[in-house]
Amino acid sequence: MKPQFILSPLASDNGKILLSMGLMRALVRRGMNVQTFECGPDLSDTVCHAAATGNASVNLDTWYSSRTRIQSLYNTYGEHADVCVIDNAAGLFDGYRKWQGSGAELAKTLSVPVVLTVNARTAAYSLAPALCGFKHFRQGVKIAGVIFYQVHSPSQYGFLREICADAGVESLGYLPCWDSLRMPARYSALTSSVKSELDKTARQTAELIEKTVDIDRLLNLATRIFPCAYSLPYTSEAEPRLPICRKKLHIAVASDPAFCFFYRQNIDSLKETGDISFFSPVYGNDLPPADMIYLPGGYPELFARQLHRWKRQLQQLREYAEAGGKVLAEGGGIALLANTMTVRQGGTPYEMAGVLPFDITVKDARLYSGYRKAEFRKHSLRGYEYRYFDVSINEASVLQTAYMTNLKGTETPASFICRYKNVIASTAHCCWEDTDIFEWWQ
């Protein structure tokens, strides 16, 4: 038995992440080992979770994984935790297709209760039927209670408690308005100053929550049997993946403020295959000896000048790729392999490694976002795209390219996965799951 719950808003609201971080930190301040999960593919929120708890967060996404696999991931990563907190950024029943992929579906799959988070800035009595509807809409989705945020005063919270009583939902407390509590801009790199700001915000929010949220009551209502039971029909996907028989490999992973978006499952999969060493393109570390280089996503366009300055490292990366070295780049990671990167319209094109015939341009921070799917070298790949730059391919004939489709099955020419020698680059972040990624090079 352990406390475990999903935090979910009624509808998507960026202000909720403050409450999530504060509650996570408040649990840590109680001496609890908190394992966090993200419902869906978002990688920026997982950075906030790690800042609040000190533990890497895990994405649970039914677009990537079957029901059995989701249950297996949850049980594996939550095993040694004192409490499991699943953060859902979208509305509780908002999925990629109706309620598929939603926080509600995840709550039912894992048999964990939901704690609703409600922005009280404009809340009025019509909230009562809304809460009642959420409580009874889908059988198997248990609403444990509600926490409010952006509450102006204790008297307003008294009114909100009356609303909850009339709706038959437990009110667990609130986070008051505090103008000094601010999150860093969503489009910002994970620099030391941003980390410090996230830590400070989590601490200050936790101090408020400890005074205004009934944490003991929350933990009591959320305590459930762990591990969660596997649903029938049970599939072999829940079984541990057997180690692949090959020599122990050396894998170099880019990790710094510009390259910080990766799925925890992917890193753990690489650890099963070999020894991992980290290097920093932003700070110009030499490439470590490696059988494979992994360039995860992030915001390299915010560091274009710094990346360009480290010509020795860019040369090492180019020589490694031209010699047939295995490179896997995803999302923002592909920018390091491009010919040039231009951070504003008409600006200086900064030379990159020049491995791939790409030119990267940032135009008014245009966002490419959404689920993607592709067939590549006999493998069916699923991913999530999240980037703010355009990619211009200069010499497509030298690449093996597969264009990705969106959820509707429509091809998106701006989204692709390609290969040059042993370099594989994808505009989307892929969750490798049980795939042996080294088969992609065969």
CB 296 within 8 A of CB 252: no
247-267: burial string, b at 16+ Cβ within 10 Å, e else: eebebbbbbbbbbbbbbbbbb
pLDDT at 52: 96
pLDDT at 408: 87
CB 251 within 8 A of CB 290: yes
- pLDDT < 50: residue spans in the chain: 240, 242-243, 245
CB 336 within 8 A of CB 294: no
What's 132's DSSP letter? H
pLDDT at 309: 94
SS3 418: strand
Q: Name the residue among 99, 440, 90 with its Cα closest to residue 273.
A: 440
Q: Give the tokens for residue 442.
A: 């065969």
Which domains are delineated in the chain? 2-235 (3.40.50.300), 246-441 (3.40.50.880)
pLDDT at 402: 87
Residue with tokens 């921070």: 365
pTM of the model: 0.92
pLDDT at 238: 55
What's 43's DSSP letter? S
For helices 44-53 and 16-29, the axis angle rounded to 10 degrees is: 30
CB 284 within 8 A of CB 311: no
Q: Which helix (H) or strand (E) holds 318?
A: helix 311-322
Show the CA angle centred on residue 73, arms to residues 70 and 75, nearest 5°.
105
How far is residue 343's CA from residue 158's CA, in Å, rounded to a whole number? Answer: 50
How far is residue 171's CA from residue 166's CA, in Å, rounded to a whole number? Answer: 11
Q: Name the residue among 253, 258, 288, 263 with its Cα closest to residue 192.
A: 258
pLDDT at 396: 58
How far is residue 137's CA from residue 323's CA, in Å, rounded to a whole number? Answer: 58
pLDDT at 195: 86
Q: Name the residue among 240, 234, 254 with its Cα closest to residue 353.
A: 254
